Structure 1
């Protein structure tokens, strides 16, 4: 991997968190992590046209095909997304000596993925998924290829010094116990498992597993109650971690974002920007790829899943099987959190309220973002549907905190908050308190961190007068901005350069 000392600091998990700003994807790409992807590859084919009549033979639409596109799918989609985010990638898999296999290999090579470890076998039929689309509606999907794959006998090139290996096991039989043994024998610093049955890979003791809700439920042997996924997964994190053997589990919930369960740390959820289901092909592969690049670059787990969510949000807003590039991700991070003036914010809050959404409001200086901030903002978002964050202006921070503060200007502080998927709207206010803004917006909930008491807040009477609710959230000791600044001034900076996640013994 490229020498990380030339890349600007990204912090560790415990105190100050790195800024998830538009320059982060390029800085991660500059590290050029070496990633081996092992797993089931698919050729995704999209046949798109118009359907204006029914056929005579059956009550089925006649689709006049206008275009045909193909793209790498499954583990191959993970590989091309990794390459698009700057990784040096080699694919380990097998395809048939057929047209689909040739097209898939050509698409991988065009995307910059090394295919020298993909076996081409005459007796094998390449898996292909063909979707027929009329307008924006998928009418039918035709699956072709071997349903039960002949297993790989090993992992070529595993001992070549990879920074990470990503195992993509979709239950076809391609990945045998021999593959598990090979990865165990030469374990890279980071191991990520994306599998229909992640418990099968528990012996590998992966650093990350990324099941979806159904796969996590299967590991637990029970269904996840509707509307209670966060609480349920948090309560069962011990079982999930034990049965998967993983250091951390990220459960992807499609349009509901993702849930990070990282050891004993507080649960963290991301929020997705939902789209119709016909747009979601491959979003999980993109999520896994971005998560891997982020962790290879030393980003802490909370920031890594936020980056991965941003990448997934890029591709679900595109038709067919899409790829998120460095530039795409930078644009997404840069365009997510425009600071609104109070008039525009009031209009948007009115629209949300008319749509029946519950509005949550919080405020603060947010001078140096740390885990305490992220946990409390994440918790605040869970109290409603829309989270509005009001940031103290530079003059207001100086008035409250004294000379030398803020450390970061308001534009930088707002940009950092904008990178969090839980934040829906941002604004800036000049006063010492947001009382006037609260009176104007009338949010359903006014949330503050656990180092406050409701009866001592000057905003409490304002909120209660219009019928709102004041909520004091949980508190993490030693997670304050002042504590972080004191550590930095004392020569114990939380900042350190990006680094690969260390190998576990």
Structure 2
């Protein structure tokens, strides 16, 4: 499936998409917490850095742009410094500001998140949730009417900040219908009848539960919630994102597809919904099937949640995520190349597994060890002792097979994604360069005695011990050969 999706993404025709909704400026204040205030029982955040990024409909637009599409944004900002930040960020992503409506009676919505140890400790919002005036609503509609020409489709990003009133939404849907443009909605609130006329709505599990009053605990309640959403919203398709449980796609005629989650590590879910709807829209509006587009959106979300704050996933990252990592070419690599390979995998939210050995005369025990090691992550890198290293460890008569032969034999296994030779007696230096998430050792070792354990665990990784297969060893093979064929 990933190879098919890779082909779709690589050949995708970039669409032009109109994004309408609540514009937000996301601020992230990052630091460390090591003490409690003497003034009150409150933690003290020692600030180390601060960053701003587009949020809400602006984040959706940035995601469209990052994936190769052309985004046009319509929404409201205040007459303040935060609006200036928004315009600067939009320019960075190649998104024009001609669709922005300035309303001096309200502030630009700003969400400030305080983080320590990659955990959100506090969020402070500056916003107005009052419905925009009739004059501002008319300006928004005028922008939509002007910019919709030449677009392939429309995204409505509703964050419940007062911009998308039911009355304005009805007018926007009417404009889209007359222009022949499909609309995909990221909804908010309890009244989904306001989205009648949309092609697809993409609530998360919590939003879907709140909208229909059904707690989603199993397949039956999930289906009940989806049917209720169809009855209320009168849409053609419903995509419910379910966090660690993946996402479920429903069609009005009873079609349903469940797509498992792909993320291995989740650092921050803020912005995940923006990534999902942007990815879904980019590929639906470029002519892809809804199911394929949903699977691609699922892959995009797995990349986004591995970053702090709303993160715009690029087309290149998505291609790298979908590209099979077990292709046979180029598996034998230098230590430097292996380090870069490992770093690239980690940026794609893929767990890197490392193991090592001599692998002199490959046998079933080796194969089973490597197969099991691969199950602990997405990519397995194998360190192999050089000929000189083995001679120092096992004597002058070893190895039986040279390092080049051993490397290529191990690289030919489907379970192996990278092979690296190391000349030292232990793989410690190699482990320090590769920085794997999981360190695997075969045998009766205690985890504390495994070389490189401290390096891996310091980064939040772990050690796995795999028992050896009885009766399978290189020395045993050599003895059998000598017994049968020795003079």
Query: When the two structures are superposed, what TM-score results if normalisation uses the length of structure 1?
Result: 0.61
Structure-2 change in CA distance of 1:57 and 1:122 (3 Å)? same
Alpha-carbon separation, structure 2, partners of 1:306 and 1:33:
18
Residue 88 of structure 1 corresponds to 70
Residue 40 of structure 2: SS of its match in structure 1?
A: coil
Asked whether the 8 Å contact 1:96–1:124 carries over to 2, the reply is yes
* 8 A Cα contact 1:202 1:245, kept in partner: no
Trace 1:439-450 onto structure 2 (pairs within 5 A).
none
1:241 match: 230
Question: Partner of 1:469 in structure 2?
Answer: none
1:136 aligns with 2:136: no
Q: State the 1:100 CA deviation.
A: 1.2
| 1:96-153 deviation per Cα after TM superposition (whole angstroms, max 9, x unaligned) | 1111111112111211112211112222201111111122122211111223242523
Aligned to 2:209: 217
Q: Hey, what's the Cα distance between the residues in 1 that align with 2:47 and 2:81?
A: 20
CA distance in 1 between partners of 2:221 and 2:327 (Å)? 34
Structure 1 residues 134-173: aligned runs within 5 Å? 134-151=116-133, 152-153=137-138, 154-155=140-141, 156-158=143-145, 159-173=148-162
**1:282-431 equivalence runs, <5 A:** 282-335=271-324, 343=368, 346-348=371-373
| Structure 2 counterpart of 1:24 | 8
Give the whole-Å Cα distance in 1 for the aligned partners of 2:3 and 2:266: 31
CA distance in 2, matches of 1:149, 1:46: 27
Q: Is the 8 A contact 2:216 2:225 kept in 1?
A: no
Native 8 Å contact 1:18 1:303 kept in 2: no
User: Does 2:99 correspond to 1:117?
Assistant: yes
- Which stretch shifts more, 233-242 or 87-96? 233-242
**Structure 1's 305 and 55: CA in aligned 2 closer, same or farther, altered over 3 A?**
same
Deviation at 1:175, TM superposition (A): 0.8
**Cα separation, partners in 2 of 1:283 and 1:203, compared to 1, 3 Å:** closer
- What displacement does 1:186 show? 3.4
Where relative contact order (Cα < 8 A, 6+ residues apart) is larger, the structure is 1
Instruction: State the shift of 1:298 in Å.
Output: 1.8
Are residues 186 and 304 of structure 1, via their aligned partners in 2, closer, same or farther at CA, if it must alter by over 3 Å? closer
Q: Which residue of 2 aligns with 1:186?
A: 176
What is the rounded CA distance, in whole Å, between the counterparts of 2:292 and 2:370 in structure 1?
27
User: Which of 42, 46, 67 is the aligned partner of 2:49?
Assistant: 67
Counterpart CA distance in 2 for 1:314 and 1:140 is 24
Give the drift of 1:23.
Answer: 4.0
- 2:22 equivalent among 40, 44, 67: 40
- Cα shift readout 1:237-268 (whole Å, capped 9, x = no counterpart): 43322211111100011222110002335421
Check 1:243–1:348 CA distance in 2 against 1; reply closer, same or farther (3 A cut). Answer: farther
The match for 2:401 is none
SS at structure 2 position matched to 1:217: helix
Tell me by how many angstroms 1:345 deviates.
6.7
Cα deviation, 1:363-399, whole Å, max 9, x if unaligned, reads xxxxxxxxxxxxxxxxxxxxxxxxxxxxxxxxxxxxx
SS of the aligned residue for 1:240 comes to helix
Distance 2:113 2:259 in 1: 30
Q: CA deviation at 1:336?
A: 6.3
Counting matched residue pairs gives 332
Cα drift, residue 278 of structure 1: 4.6
Indicate how the Cα distance of structure 1 residues 71 and 350 shifts in structure 2: closer, same or farther if over 3 A, else same. closer
State the partner residue of 1:364: none
Note if contact 2:215-2:221 (Cα within 8 Å) is conserved in structure 1. no
1:77 aligns with 2:59: yes
TM-score normalised by the chain length of structure 2: 0.63
Give matches, 1:476-487, under 5 Å. Answer: none
Q: Which is higher, the Rg of structure 1 or of structure 2?
A: 2
Quote how far apart the aligned CAs of 1:52 are.
Answer: 2.1
- Is residue 242 of structure 2 the alignment partner of residue 253 of structure 1? yes
The answer to whether the 8 A contact 1:193-1:201 is kept is: no
Q: Is the 8 A contact 1:49 1:63 kept in 2?
A: yes
The separation in 2 between residues aligned to 1:214 and 1:113, in whole angstroms, is 31
* Alpha-carbon separation, structure 1, partners of 2:113 and 2:66: 24
Q: CA deviation at 1:19?
A: 5.4
Determine if contact 2:185/2:195 at 8 Å carries over to the other structure: no
Q: Is the 8 A contact 1:180 1:201 kept in 2?
A: no
Give, in whole Å, the separation in 1 of the partners of 2:375 and 2:244. Answer: 24
For residues 187 and 375 of structure 2, the distance between their equivalents in structure 1, rounded to whole angstroms, comes to: 43
- Relative to structure 1, the CA distance from residue 211 to residue 345 in structure 2 (aligned partners, 3 Å threshold; closer, same or farther) is farther
1:198-255 per-position Cα deviation (integer Å, ceiling 9, x unaligned): 7535564211110111222233222222xx1x33223454332221111110001122
Q: How far off is 1:326 after superposition?
A: 0.5
